[in-house]
Amino acid sequence: MKHTENIRCRAAAATTESRWVRWLLIGVSLTFLGLFLAMPLAAVFAQALSRGWAMYVRSLGDSDALSAIRLTLLVALIAVPVNTVFGVAAAWAIAKFQFFGKSVLITLIDLPYSVSPVISGMVLVLLFGRQGWLGPWLEARGIHVVFAVSGIVLATLFVTFPFVARELIPLMQAQGTEEEEAARLLGASGWQTFRRVTLPNIKWGLLYGVILCNARAMGEFGAVSVVSGHIRGETNTMPLHVEVLYNEYNTTAAFAVASLLALLALVTLVLKSVLQWKTGEQLTPEEQGYTGD
Amino acid sequence: MGIEVRNITKTFGTFAALRDVSLGVATGELVALLGPSGSGKTTLLRIIAGLEEPDPGSGAILFHDEDVARRRVSSRRVGFVFQHYALFRQMTVFENVAFGLRVRPKRLRPSRNLVKYKVLRLLKLVQLESMANRYPHQLSGGQRQRVALARALAIEPKVLLLDEPFGALDARVRQELRQWLRRLHDEIHLTSVFVTHDQDEALELADRVLVMNEGRIEQIGTPDEVFHRPATEFVVKFMGQVNFFHGRLEGDKVHFSTMAWDWPEHAGASTQPARVFVRPHELDVDVERNGQPSLQAVVTRIHSAGPNVRLELRAASGEPLCAELTQERFRSLNLSVGNTVYVTPRDVTVFADESPK
């Protein structure tokens, strides 16, 4: 009895620091978060509203601002569904099948994470620009990519394509293929198997990936900046418009648009925590069930 | 024939999982595929189900005399039970069992009421009527396995295949479920094949046992035949602990250790080295010579907790031996570690050594 108590004391001592170390660690983290996250966020809203609510609304109602918002929504509306389909297809292929070149595919999916977005934009210019490899051929057919909406969409697609796939691959690998095999043996077609078995199993992970993908699609600056040309009211997305306004010393308007992006970030964070809690909830009883046999 | 497999070969890369395997399962029969891991038994089961393709150019698979090798998995009408159940985790027990009926094309799909009737009848069959609205993670292992079985039976399969159906369960549940499955099979008489690495399970449950090793079939026979008349050394060793002696076939006798045993099958053939096997329960142990040829040995260990008493012995020639006695016999001998005993086989299994030294 004494022996076990001894062990417990030692174990506690091994994992618990003294009180002032604990407070120091918590203090450092909170100070850091406050300094680098909470304060800037507050500053954005403070600046945006510094000249009153009416000015804030007028800044957002400006036609160039509205067109930037519309373009950002349009780009996200194209990029997110496309990358959702791609992400599900890639994750499905990687998690459920063995094929030649699988590791290459996994590496390629990670490419946008490892390449600076500016370089992604430059590559698009290199390919589709007026002096680019495919540019003249496309231009002859009246298709403009660089300095046009299609270029912005392409750049966003490239930068955001890992998000859904990366979220789903480990999840689908962990779930294995037995449920799909069972469904096939019970007579389900490929589509029925996907819709009734695979999709319900990955739905929270998928939504999580979609939300992250959307946040990045709306917030992307580097790659889009290179291909956009910053044409006001035409090829400016919200992040680009913020920069343009800021460079023109139009601080209030710049922060008004920025505050919308900040709001998007906050909504994303909330959704993300809800989904994390949901996926956690989905997994936990399952694990309990398996150990409870 | 319920299931017929003709000359199936399967290789994964350079690994030969199945080498020219053929087997027939009679309609309504329950057959066990028994073997160690890596022997190809699960691969064979998955090929029968259509989850794996045999090598191109290898033989046919027939269900009730109809070739199904070209049929897709979804149209073979195979009931398949996975070792880890593979229940649909997002569906209730009811939805799991109903799945096979609900995914049918519209013209073949039973009405809502009929689905309900059929599912509840199946849940009653597997004694889980009260669990219809539970999710898989709320069930015990044994209950999940019964749901998996009900789900497989819902499509009125032509054959039922079970992959290590009791492998993930603890010993007590396994024993119960084993007997329950045998009773169920006697009720519904579905042509069934199950995979197992547990020889007791195979011998207790199956009408016939198929012993596999390294992608080949070692023996097909009734549990009695496989246990009492093993066709190969592998089967002898796989069926449980056995004492092994190097021996010699000479005339109509086999000589091993200090004994000679009648072996009329060999009469007339030339002298040949042999391998002799004796099961622990086929060794008689006595404290003094009883006139029959016997081996002298010393008791080195006694395990008396169990229905029988197991003795570990060391023969005078140095070989370790194992013998199994009834509790009564053990008490009447009054043995303890260090005693000298005389051991006489009641039965032996002999294989002529194919590669004489």
Short-list B344, B345, B353, B357, CA closest to B275: B353
For residue B169, give the chain A residue with the closest CA: A293
* pLDDT reported for residue B252: 83
CATH class given for the domain over B243-352: mainly beta
Distance separating alpha carbons of residues B297 and B320, to the nearest angstrom: 9
What DSSP string describes B235-246? HHHHTS--EEEE
Collapsing DSSP states into helix, strand and coil, what is residue B320? Answer: strand
What DSSP string describes B54-86? PPTT---EEETTEE-TTS-GGGS-EEEE-TT--
* pLDDT reported for residue A3: 52
pLDDT-derived band at A13, boundaries 50, 70, 90: low
The residue to which tokens 């084993």 are assigned: B178
For residue B155, give the chain A residue with the closest CA: A186
Closest approach of B15 to chain A, Cα-based (Å): 17
What pTM does this model have?
0.80
Give me the residue from B75, B90, B138 closest to A200, CB to CB.
B90
**Low-confidence stretches of chain B (pLDDT beneath 50):** 356-357
Number of Cβ pairs closer than 8 Å across A and B? 78
The per-residue pLDDT for range A195-233, each reduced to its tens digit, is 999 999 998 889 889 999 999 999 899 899 988 888 887
Helices A251-291, A52-61: crossing angle, 10 deg rounding: 80
Q: Which of A97, A179, A185 to mutate to test the interface with B (most CBs of B within 10 A)?
A: A185
Q: Which residues of chain A are within 8 Å of residue B152 when distances are taken between CB atoms?
A: 185-186
pLDDT at A65 over 70: yes
Residue A182 to residue B74, Cβ atoms within 8 A: no
If one compares A289 and A276, the residue with the highest pLDDT of the two is: A276
* pLDDT reported for residue A145: 79
Which amino acid, residue B75? S
Share of chain A above pLDDT 90, in %: 31
Q: Which residues of chain B are within 8 Å of residue A286 when distances are taken between CB atoms?
A: 89, 137
- Kindly report the number of other CB atoms within 10 A of residue A278's CB atom: 15
- Kindly report the number of other CB atoms within 10 A of residue A19's CB atom: 8
Contact present, A227 and A237 (Cβ < 8 Å): no
Closest approach of A104 to chain B, Cα-based (Å): 21
For residue A283, give the chain B residue with the closest CA: B137
The DSSP element (H or E) to which A29 belongs, if any, is: helix A19-33
Going along chain A from its start, the domains and CATH numbers come out as 53-286 (1.10.3720.10)
pLDDT at A2 over 80: no
Q: What is the mean pLDDT of chain A?
A: 84
Domain boundaries, chain B: 3-238, 243-352
Distance separating alpha carbons of residues A285 and A291, to the nearest angstrom: 10
Which range, of A36-50, A238-252, A276-290, B135-149, averages the lowest pLDDT? A276-290
* pLDDT reported for residue A292: 34
How many alpha carbons fall within 13 Å on the CB side of residue B89? Answer: 23
Contact present, B233 and B57 (Cβ < 8 Å): no
* pLDDT reported for residue B43: 94
Distance separating alpha carbons of residues A115 and A103, to the nearest angstrom: 18
The per-residue pLDDT for range A236-247, each reduced to its tens digit, is 899 999 999 999
Short-list B215, B216, B237, CA closest to B226: B237
CATH class given for the domain over B3-238: alpha beta
Contact present, A196 and A183 (Cβ < 8 Å): yes
Contact present, A213 and A164 (Cβ < 8 Å): yes
Q: What are phi and psi of A176, to 5 degrees?
A: 70, -170
For residue B83, give the chain A residue with the closest CA: A178
pLDDT at A286 over 70: no
For residue A185, give the chain B residue with the closest CA: B74
Distance separating alpha carbons of residues B194 and B239, to the nearest angstrom: 17
Contact present, B35 and B17 (Cβ < 8 Å): no
The per-residue pLDDT for range B261-314, each reduced to its tens digit, is 888 877 767 788 888 999 999 998 988 887 777 888 999 999 989 899 999 999
Contact present, A243 and A35 (Cβ < 8 Å): no
How many alpha carbons fall within 13 Å on the CB side of residue B184? Answer: 18
Q: Which of residues 46-65 of B touch A (CB under 8 A)?
A: 49-51
Q: H/E/C letters for each residue in A157-178?
A: HHHHCHHHHHHHHHHHHHHCCH
Residue A187 to residue B100, Cβ atoms within 8 A: yes
In chain B, beta strands by DSSP E:
3-12, 15-25, 30-34, 61-63, 66-67, 78-81, 159-163, 192-196, 208-213, 216-221, 243-250, 253-256, 259-262, 272-278, 283-286, 295-303, 308-315, 320-326, 340-345, 349-352
Q: Which of residues 124-143 of B touch A (CB under 8 A)?
A: 136-141
The per-residue pLDDT for range A108-121, each reduced to its tens digit, is 988 888 889 899 88
ipTM: 0.84
Residue B103 to residue A178, Cβ atoms within 8 A: no
Q: Which residues of chain A are within 8 Å of residue B154 when distances are taken between CB atoms?
A: 186
pLDDT at A138 over 90: no
